[in-house]
């Protein structure tokens, strides 16, 4: 039957038609056949229905902690021990950027807290108080992990804070933020 052979030739193009993958010329040809063919018209509709059903299928909810879990994994990436703050990033913040200063101070305060050691900062405003002075960080400090904070600050891992070349600068920034806060 030549009609069925024609249908077989068109069959794969029915999907391509639905997917908008046919040339203009070929699309017109296929549409012309479908319009006149009692076999291909319902077949095209059946294929279209598959897409509708798949699109309507319930989507799994995204777990609210997935981003935090990813953050922990990023922070746990095998350590590259070189300093991770690159010059372009510092340039982006600009020299007197209080946002960065406060964020860095919060990171350092948290870092010191995480390490459980004596803070070398003396007076030592609570980390949370420092965080509240940081306009760039609308997060409550206690709500985020050290790893996430490190990511926010674009530092690879908390460990990498140890190798920051300009740690002195951070210490001075903490002092400056404290002075402003107190």
7 contributes a contact to Zn ion by CB under 5 A: yes
Closest separation between CB of residue 126 and another protein, Å?
25
Q: State which of residues 14, 17, 40, 174 lies at the interface with Zn ion (CB under 5 A).
A: 40
The option from another protein, Zn ion, none interacting with 96 (CB < 5 to 8 A, set by class) reads none
| CA pair distance 130, 136, nearest whole angstrom | 12
Closest separation between CB of residue 86 and another protein, Å?
7
CA distances from 102 to 32, 45, 74, 120, 154 (A): 68, 61, 23, 17, 14
| CA pair distance 60, 41, nearest whole angstrom | 34
Q: State which of residues 16, 18, 37, 97 lies at the interface with Zn ion (CB under 5 A).
A: 37
Which token pair is 115? 């390490």
Lay out the site mask for Zn ion across 86-115 (x = CB under 5 A, - = otherwise): ------------------------------
| CA pair distance 90, 94, nearest whole angstrom | 7
| CA pair distance 153, 85, nearest whole angstrom | 9
Sites of contact with another protein (CB under 8 A): 11-12, 14-16, 18-19, 21, 43, 46-47, 49-51, 53-60, 62-63, 66-67, 69-70, 73-74, 77, 86, 88-89, 92, 151-152, 154
Closest separation between CB of residue 61 and another protein, Å?
9
Helix, strand or coil, per DSSP, at residue 64: coil
163 contributes a contact to Zn ion by CB under 5 A: no
Closest separation between CB of residue 12 and Zn ion, Å?
12
Q: Which of 28, 54, 30 is nearest to 43 (CA)?
A: 30
CB 134 within 8 A of CB 103: yes
Q: Which spans of this chain sit near Zn ion (rule: CB under 5 A)?
A: 7, 37, 39-40
């Amino acid at each position: 039957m030549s009609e069925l052979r024609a249908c077989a030739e068109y069959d794969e193009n029915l999907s391509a038609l639905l997917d908008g993958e046919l040339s203009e010329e070929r699309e017109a040809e296929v549409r012309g056949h479908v319009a006149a063919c009692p076999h291909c018209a319902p077949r095209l509709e059946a294929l279209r229905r598959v897409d509708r059903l798949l699109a309507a299928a319930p989507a799994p909810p995204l777990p609210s902690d997935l981003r935090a879990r990813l953050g922990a994994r990023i922070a746990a990436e095998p350590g590259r021990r070189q300093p991770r703050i690159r010059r372009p990033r510092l340039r982006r913040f600009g020299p007197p950027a209080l946002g960065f200063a406060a964020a860095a101070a919060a990171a350092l305060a948290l870092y010191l807290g995480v390490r459980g050691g004596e803070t070398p900062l003396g007076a030592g405003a609570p980390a949370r108080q420092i965080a509240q002075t940081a306009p760039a960080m609308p997060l409550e400090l206690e709500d985020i992990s050290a790893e996430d904070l490190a990511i926010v600050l674009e530092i690879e891992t908390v460990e990498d804070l140890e190798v920051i070349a300009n740690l002195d600068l951070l210490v001075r920034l903490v002092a400056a933020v404290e002075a402003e806060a107190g």
